[in-house]
Structures are given as structure tokens and as C-alpha cells.
Chains A and B, each alone.
Chain A
Amino acid sequence: MNRRAIIIGFGLLGLLALALVSAAMLGAERLPIFDLNDQQRSILFDIRLPRILLGACVGASLAVAGAGLQSLLRNPLAEPYLLGVSNGAALGTMLAFVLFESYEFARPVLAFGGAAVATLAVYRMAKSRSGMNVERLVLSGVIVTTFLSSVIVMLTTLLDAAKLRSFTFWLLGDLSQATQNGVYIALGASVIATIILSSQARGLNLMMVGERDAFDFGVEVGRVRMLVFAASSLAVGAAVAASGSVGYVGLIVPHLVRLTVGSDNRLVVPFSAIVGAIFVVFADTIARTAIAPRELPVGAVTALIGAPLFIYLLRKS
């Protein structure tokens, strides 16, 4: 690992700490750093901190899933949404919402299941006798995504008005429902996914050039593919269950990281985790404060920042 990468890594960690602290202080009620009174303590520890930490975990999860899937599919534009992973997770969460509303753990479990089923469906559809072809995979992802979208829309007709509003807000990307357990689940998923993807980073570096290449140079291509799919499903499932569809994070963050440190996945994966966390914490702070005391869905903010930034990056590279 070169010195520049180490400096950037520590710099990013510092930036993340700064983002977390400033997000904790900013909001409808501005908090001081020291000497909080009881009410301020309660706002910080019961409401704001779970939400900020959840945002950081969601950002990290979506960004590492994007980085992994992009390298696997040899396409810098691939991301969880394109492959139907997010919509699978959204459908799973929705089923949990409709069928098992009182069980908090049902949401992430069904979301992970939905993400995994969607990924496997896409994988099966894309795999032909002559092997895996990237164009076919992306096309299958688009088909699965649109199919799942229509199922989700049909299911919303079953919801009553209050649930529908809450669900719609969640679908647009919403961190306001953060709970302590939700944070633990999202933290666990993001850490596990980052470790799995980092452990496969060297293999992914070869697969980025071509599956045949990777195979020739000793990568167990099938195993890496399954591990990346599983880790991305886990990350996206946990993120979507907690916060709905927070778009553009999986696309823009790895792109930004690659522009700074190059394409080596041993750096891209962990750095994407940190930058993804910073990005979502930053976007959520805007969502909480821009029109306070009312709130914007964080997904709308990430898309508002992400879309123009992505066009700029695309033109620049």
C-alpha cells in the first residue's frame, strides 16, 4: 500500500468524524458540543445519533455493494438498482411491512431474502450455456427491476392511507425511523459486506479486466461471483430495509473514489465505505435542516446532489 493511500485513508476517516459530529450538532434544534442539558441529551442519544449512525451504515453498505458489482460486471455504471437488487430488497421489506409489521427483525431478513432472490433470478436469466455475458446480465437486471417495481406498485393498493404515506416516504429514502436495533443490524451488515468484498478485492481486480483473464490467472471466478452477490445482497438488503431507496450512492461514490485513488479494489472497497457514509450523513443533514422543522426524504437529496455530480464526473473522465 502506498503512502498516498494511507494519508487519504486517514484523511477520509477524519472527514467522517467531522461529518458525524457536525451532523449531531445540526438540526431543527441546534446542539452545543459540551454541557448538554437533559432534553438535549435525549435528542442527541435517542433521536439524532441513531439516525446519523444508520445513515453512515446505509451509505457505506450501498457504496461497497456498488463498488463490488461494478468490478464484477466490468461496468462502472452498474449499481444495485440496475440489477434489481434494491427492488428485490424493497419488495421483501414491503412484504414484512404488510405481513409482519410488529416484528422489527422481519424487515431486514425479508429484505436480504428479496435482494438475494432478485440477484439469483438475474444471475440465472443471464447465464447461458456459453457462460455469463455482461450485456445479458444488465438486461436481465433491468427486466427484474421493472417487474418488481410493478409488483410493489400493485401491493401498495393493499395499504390503508396512513400506511401508504409512511410507505411512500420510506420508498423515497427515509432515515427518520431509525432505531437502536436498526442501527446494529445495518452496522453488522455493512461491516460484514465490506470485509467480504475487501477479501475478494485482488480477485475482483482481475475480474474487472475479464472473467477469462481472471480464470487464467488463478481466480476461482464462480466463488468470487457468488461471494460478491451475497455480500451485495446483504448490504443492500440491510440498507433498503432501514431506509428505503437511497439512490446514486452506489453509483457515484465508487466513481469518485476511483478518480482519486485509481481502480485497485483493495483501496476502492474500504474507501467507498467511508465516502459512502460521509455522503449519506451529509445528505441527511440537508434533508433534516433545509426546510426544518419539516423534512425531505434523504433519497431525494442524494439524487439531487448525485445526478448533476455524476454528469460532471462523467464528462470529466
Chain B
Amino acid sequence: MLTIKEISVSYGNRAVLRDVSFELGDGQIIVLLGANGAGKTTLIKALNGTLPISAGEINLNEQPLTSISRREIAKNIAVVAQENETRFPVTVLEFVLSGRFVHGGAFGWETDGDIRFAENALKDCDLAGYASRLMNELSGGERQRVVLARALATGAKILLLDEPTANLDLAHQAMMFRLVRERSRSCGASAVVITHDLNLAAEFADEILLLKDGRIAAKGAPSEVLTAENIDDVFGVKVLLDSNPASGNVRVTNVF
């Protein structure tokens, strides 16, 4: 469980996040929405201690994040970041296994258990048969799925996903969110997900945080947050709202 209390983050003198508070409970999926530059990625970086916070407090399972070692944080929190490129010939299996770093010692080799974790993660991400392919020969979308598989292979209970669907086709976008949902049901894993797809957010989020200029503009269930006024306020676009005939959840349609 992550508890975020009135945190602020600054780059030099410029405050990027101000007074952000929320709680990520076990099994909960929170989606971060907001315009470019609203502070979404900064928030994700702050949540696992990559960026220092200038005020406030983040607690991981009721312990202050600053008092926990890197290894311990990584055992609990896995991240899917936006850019992952390497100029070295790394295979998909090697890449996914590198996610098991915190579970091994120095000089360590992966155990059969680690390899099982990696293979299951690959299967979950629709990547069975990719194990010996090279990372730099994959398409953007395939690589994105491998990066997700690495995060799943860690076995961490909290996932932080920075635009995990950015390069994915329609089927794999839904797959990504379904995977996260299944994890939350089967083992109480929770996730903070950044996306620009309001309809995916409406379908899969337990809670939506709408960020504007580094502050939380709205917070709550999708149907409460995804209102025409909120969307106009944050994104400056007019939308029509109705309900998705298949799921009954709120549906957002752009008015061009």
C-alpha cells in the first residue's frame, strides 16, 4: 500500500507537483490523466523514489519511502518507463530476467523459479516464442510488451506504468489493462497507470486522478471524474458523454 501525503516536487525553482495526496490500496488501479506537462511522469518517478520530493511524505506499507533501501523498494514496486532502448544485443528472455535482479545475490545466476516467473510473464504478455529474439529487432509495440513482462516478472505488488499502451495496437491495449486487472484480482496487486485514452481509463480504473499544472484537479470514480466540465477544464476540449453499451461505463467522445 502506498500513501501519498501532500507531496511537492520541484525542478530547481519550478514546482512541478504541488500538494498531491492520495492512497493506493491493495488491488486498486488508479489511472492518472492530464495534459502533457501536467506532472504525471514526475509523480510516477516520485512514487518509487527516483525523484526526491521537496515536501510531504510517501509511505510504502506504512514506512517512509526515504527509510527503505533501493532493493526493498524494487521488491515492492515495479516500473514500466517510457523509453527503453539499448545498443547491445540483449535477448527478450535476458531482458525480462533482469527484472529478477533484487531476488538474486552478487555473482548470482537465475534459479529455475526466476525463469518460470519470466516465462509466465512472457506468456501473459502474448510473447510466448519470443524468448530468444533480440530486443533491438522488435517493433515498438513488441518491445513495450517485453518491458511490461519484465515488470510483471519482478513479482512486485505495486506496478507503476508510464503510458504502457502508447505503442500498442487495439487488442494489446486492452490486453495490457486486462492483465493488470487480473493481477489485482488474483494476488491483490495494485497499479498507477498513465494513459491518454479516457475510455480505457473509464473501463479499467477504480479511481481516476486528474492532474492539472501539478495539482489534483479531480479525484474519484470514473463516472465522477470524467465529466464534460472537468475534461474541458483540464484538456480544453469539448466532449460528449454517454455510456458504453457493452459495459455500461461512461464513454467519452471528442467533438471536433
A-to-B contact residues, CB < 8 Å: 1, 71, 74-76, 129, 198-203, 205-206, 208-210, 212-213, 215-220, 258, 262-264, 266, 317
Given the complex of chains A and B, what is the CA–CA distance between A69 and B253 in angstroms? 51
Report yes or no: B106 in contact with A262, Cβ–Cβ below 8 A: no
Q: With contacts defined as CB atoms under 8 Å apart, how many contacts are there between chain A and chain B in the complex?
A: 86
CB distance from A70 to the nearest CB of B (A): 8
Nearest B residue to A317, CB-CB: B89
Nearest B residue to A130, CB-CB: B11
Report yes or no: A76 in contact with B50, Cβ–Cβ below 8 A: no
Q: Which residues of A contact B154 (CB under 8 A)?
A: 217
B-to-A contact residues, CB < 8 Å: 12, 48, 50, 70-71, 73-75, 78-79, 81, 83-91, 94-95, 98-99, 101-102, 104, 106-109, 154
Which of B70, B73, B84 contacts A209, CB < 8 Å? B84
Nearest A residue to B147, CB-CB: A213
Given contacts A202-B104, A210-B83, A212-B81, 19 further A-B contacts (CB under 8 A): A1-B109, A74-B88, A76-B88, A202-B108, A205-B98, A205-B101, A209-B86, A210-B84, A210-B85, A213-B84, A216-B50, A217-B74, A218-B74, A220-B71, A258-B88, A258-B89, A262-B90, A262-B94, A266-B109
Are A262 and B89 also in contact (CB < 8 A) when A213-B81, A213-B84, A215-B50 are? Answer: yes
Q: Which residues of B contact A210 (CB under 8 A)?
A: 81, 83-86
CB distance from A143 to the nearest CB of B (A): 23
Report yes or no: A209 in contact with B95, Cβ–Cβ below 8 A: yes
CB distance from A185 to the nearest CB of B (A): 25
Looking at A202, A208, A210, A317, the one whose CB has the most chain B CB atoms below 10 A away is A202
Report yes or no: B101 in contact with A75, Cβ–Cβ below 8 A: no
Report yes or no: A202 in contact with B101, Cβ–Cβ below 8 A: yes
Nearest A residue to B86, CB-CB: A209
Looking at B12, B98, B102, B107, the one whose CB has the most chain A CB atoms below 10 A away is B98
Looking at B12, B90, B91, the one whose CB has the most chain A CB atoms below 10 A away is B90
Q: Which residues of A contact B107 (CB under 8 A)?
A: 198-199, 201, 266
Report yes or no: B50 in contact with A74, Cβ–Cβ below 8 A: no
CB-CB nearest 10 A-B residue pairs: A218-B74, A218-B102, A216-B79, A263-B88, A199-B106, A218-B71, A209-B86, A263-B90, A217-B101, A206-B98
CB distance from B114 to the nearest CB of A (A): 11
Which of A76, A203, A263, A317 contacts B94, CB < 8 Å? A263
Looking at A1, A129, A208, the one whose CB has the most chain B CB atoms below 10 A away is A208
CB distance from A275 to the nearest CB of B (A): 17
Given the complex of chains A and B, what is the CA–CA distance between A209 and B143 in angstroms? 13
Q: Which residues of B contact A1 (CB under 8 A)?
A: 109
Nearest A residue to B76, CB-CB: A218
CB distance from B11 to the nearest CB of A (A): 8
Which of A74, A129, A203, A220 contacts B87, CB < 8 Å? A74
Which of B75, B83, B91 contacts A262, CB < 8 Å? B91
Given the complex of chains A and B, what is the CA–CA distance between A215 and B101 in angstroms? 11
Q: Which residues of B contact A263 (CB under 8 A)?
A: 86, 88-90, 94
Report yes or no: B48 in contact with A216, Cβ–Cβ below 8 A: yes
Q: Which residues of B contact A213 (CB under 8 A)?
A: 81, 84
Q: Which residues of B contact A203 (CB under 8 A)?
A: 101
Given the complex of chains A and B, what is the CA–CA distance between A303 and B75 in angstroms? 46
Are A209 and B101 also in contact (CB < 8 A) when A215-B50, A217-B154 are? Answer: no
Q: Which residues of B contact A220 (CB under 8 A)?
A: 70-71
Which of A75, A200, A215 contacts B70, CB < 8 Å? A215
Given the complex of chains A and B, what is the CA–CA distance between A154 and B173 in angstroms? 63
Q: Which residues of B contact A218 (CB under 8 A)?
A: 70-71, 73-75, 101-102
Given the complex of chains A and B, what is the CA–CA distance between A199 and B48 in angstroms? 25
CB distance from B117 to the nearest CB of A (A): 14
Q: Which residues of A contact B86 (CB under 8 A)?
A: 74, 208-210, 263
Q: Which residues of A contact B104 (CB under 8 A)?
A: 202
Q: Which residues of A contact B81 (CB under 8 A)?
A: 210, 212-213, 216
Are A209 and B90 also in contact (CB < 8 A) when A215-B50, A215-B70, A217-B74 are? Answer: yes
Are A202 and B75 also in contact (CB < 8 A) when A76-B87, A263-B89 are? Answer: no
Q: Which residues of B contact A264 (CB under 8 A)?
A: 94
Q: Which residues of A contact B108 (CB under 8 A)?
A: 202
Q: Which residues of A contact B48 (CB under 8 A)?
A: 216
CB distance from A212 to the nearest CB of B (A): 6
Nearest A residue to B95, CB-CB: A209
A–B pairs, 7, beta carbons within 8 Å? A198-B107, A203-B101, A205-B94, A206-B101, A213-B81, A216-B81, A218-B74
Q: Which residues of A contact B50 (CB under 8 A)?
A: 212, 215-216
Given the complex of chains A and B, what is the CA–CA distance between A264 and B98 in angstroms? 10
Nearest A residue to B72, CB-CB: A218
Given the complex of chains A and B, what is the CA–CA distance between A213 and B74 in angstroms? 11
Q: Which residues of B contact A208 (CB under 8 A)?
A: 86, 88, 90
